């Protein structure tokens, strides 16, 4: 029995909050959860440098990079710049997801087949406009019942 239930959220940096919102909410269908300021001065000025989007059951706390952030090469679609977030969809919907990415003109790599002795089925790899790598996959264990993800509406 593991000693951790879930990862609940990640803080990521982007170059452009509006562009990030259009990608996560507009293209991937994430839900905007609001803008939070940690610093009173920002709060008092009504300034937001931190937005939150719920993508599926995961929360991204998105902050504006205050200065230069390295970008992966433009044509690299599969990678990790340290980390990569992967989201699972039902196997029956996987092709539909690929179609949607194509329609939204999001370049991707894949689908890539995973070994049959592991829990993953097939993945496609892409990135957000700021170069954060993402993955969508279907899983062979989609019918297994695991401990439920705690409902969390906080970042």
Partner 1 sequence: MALNGAFSHLTIEVTDLDKSEAFYLDVIGLDLLGRDLVAEDRPTSLLAMNTRQRVLLVEVPEVPPYPASGGSIHHAWLLTVKQFAKARDRLEALGYEPAIDPRQSFRAVGEFNMDIHDPDGHRFQIQAFGDEGTEILGSGAGTVACGKIGEFAPGSVTRIAKGRFFLVRNADGFLALSAWCTHKNGITTWQKESWHYYCPFHGAKFDANGVYKGDMGCQPLRLNPVSIDDDGTVLVDTGRFFAREGYSPSQAVPARPGAVFQCGGLRELTVSLERPVSKARE
Report 44-103 residues binding partner 1 (CB under 8 A).
Answer: 44, 46, 50, 52, 55-58, 61, 63, 65-70, 80-90, 93, 97, 100-101, 103
Rounded to whole angstroms, how far apart are CA atoms 79 and 53? 22
Tell me the closest approach of the beta carbon of residue 78 to partner 1, in angstroms: 10
Tell me the closest approach of the beta carbon of residue 129 to partner 1, in angstroms: 16
The yes or no reply on residue 16 touching partner 1 (CB under 8 A) is: no
Rounded to whole angstroms, how far apart are CA atoms 91 and 122? 9
Tell me the closest approach of the beta carbon of residue 19 to partner 1, in angstroms: 17
The answer to whether 9 and 155 are in contact (CB under 8 A) is yes
Residue count at the site for partner 1 (CB under 8 A)? 82
Please, which residue, 18 or 147, has the CB nearer to partner 1?
Answer: 147
Rounded to whole angstroms, how far apart are CA atoms 28 and 127? 11
**Which residue, among 18, 24, 47, has the nearest Cα to 127 in the 3D structure?**
24
Tell me the closest approach of the beta carbon of residue 117 to partner 1, in angstroms: 6
Rounded to whole angstroms, how far apart are CA atoms 12 and 138? 24
The answer to whether 13 and 7 are in contact (CB under 8 A) is no
The yes or no reply on residue 35 touching partner 1 (CB under 8 A) is: yes
Cα pseudo-dihedral 144, 28, 132, 118, rounded to 10: 20
Pick the binder of partner 1 from 20, 28, 77, 124 (CB under 8 A): 28
Pick the binder of partner 1 from 41, 105, 143, 153 (CB under 8 A): 153
The yes or no reply on residue 12 touching partner 1 (CB under 8 A) is: yes
Tell me the closest approach of the beta carbon of residue 131 to partner 1, in angstroms: 11
């Amino acid at each position: 029995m593991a000693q951790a239930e879930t990862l609940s959220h990640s803080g990521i940096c982007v170059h452009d909050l509006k562009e990030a919102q259009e990608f996560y909410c507009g293209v991937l269908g994430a839900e905007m959860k609001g803008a939070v300021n940690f610093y009173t001065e920002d709060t008092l000025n009504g300034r937001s440098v931190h937005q939150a989007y719920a993508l599926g059951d995961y929360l991204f706390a998105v902050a504006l990079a205050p200065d230069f952030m390295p970008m992966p090469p433009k044509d690299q679609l599969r990678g990790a710049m340290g980390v990569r977030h992967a989201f699972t969809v039902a196997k029956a919907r996987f092709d539909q997801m690929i179609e949607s990415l194509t329609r939204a003109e999001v370049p991707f790599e894949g689908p890539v087949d995973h070994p049959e002795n592991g829990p993953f089925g097939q993945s496609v790899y892409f990135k957000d406009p700021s170069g954060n790598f993402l993955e969508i996959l279907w899983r062979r264990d989609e019918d297994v019942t695991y401990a439920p993800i705690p409902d969390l509406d906080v970042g």
